[in-house]
């Protein structure tokens, strides 16, 4: 959604995340209106996580490169397969690959050039 549109891009992430900070600066430089949500201060719901996973894919949504992931036990990691990941992501928001952008019904996860192009096209 462009800055002059009625809807903003919702950016879900962690305020301490450098990638989220870069994404917010980039959105502003592109003239794309956004609103940031810190997932620690305003926790994600199970319904939201399920919607994100269904839209973006569970393999995309779960950040298996995170320190939090490495600290999980084998049983918890096994529960992160497919839709079973939703409860784990609600319990450990740092496991969510960041940022998660929402614009209308669209969900975009991550901030690489491909995601940036998708955001510009919204």
Q: Tell me which residues are annotated as active site.
A: 17
Q: What is the mean pLDDT of residues 23-43?
A: 96
Q: State the chain's mean pLDDT as an integer.
A: 91
> Which CATH number applies to 9-121: 1.10.3720.10, 3.40.30.10, 3.90.1580.10, 3.30.450.40?
3.40.30.10
Does the pTM exceed 0.95?
Answer: no
- Tens digits of residue pLDDT in 57-97: 999 999 999 999 999 999 889 888 777 899 999 999 999 99
Note the maximum CA span of the chain: 48
| Cα radius of gyration (the chain) | 14
For the chain, give every domain's residue range. Answer: 9-121
23-27: which pairs have CB atoms within 8 A and are 24 or more residues apart?
23/99, 23/101, 23/111, 26/111, 26/116, 27/119
- Selected residue with higher pLDDT from 82 and 28: 28
Does the pLDDT of residue 2 top 70, yes or no?
no
Supply the pLDDT for residue 1.
34
């Amino acid at each position: 959604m462009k800055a002059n549109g009625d809807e903003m891009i919702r950016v879900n992430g962690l305020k301490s995340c450098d990638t989220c900070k870069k994404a917010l600066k980039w959105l502003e430089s592109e003239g794309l209106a956004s609103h940031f949500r810190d997932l620690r201060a305003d926790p994600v719901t199970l319904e939201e996580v399920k919607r994100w996973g269904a839209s973006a894919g569970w393999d995309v949504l779960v950040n298996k490169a995170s320190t939090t992931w490495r600290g999980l036990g084998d049983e918890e990691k096994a529960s992160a397969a497919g839709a079973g990941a939703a409860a784990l992501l609600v319990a450990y928001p740092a496991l969510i690959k960041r940022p998660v952008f929402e614009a209308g019904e669209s969900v975009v996860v991550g901030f690489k050039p491909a995601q940036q192009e998708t955001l510009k096209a919204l």
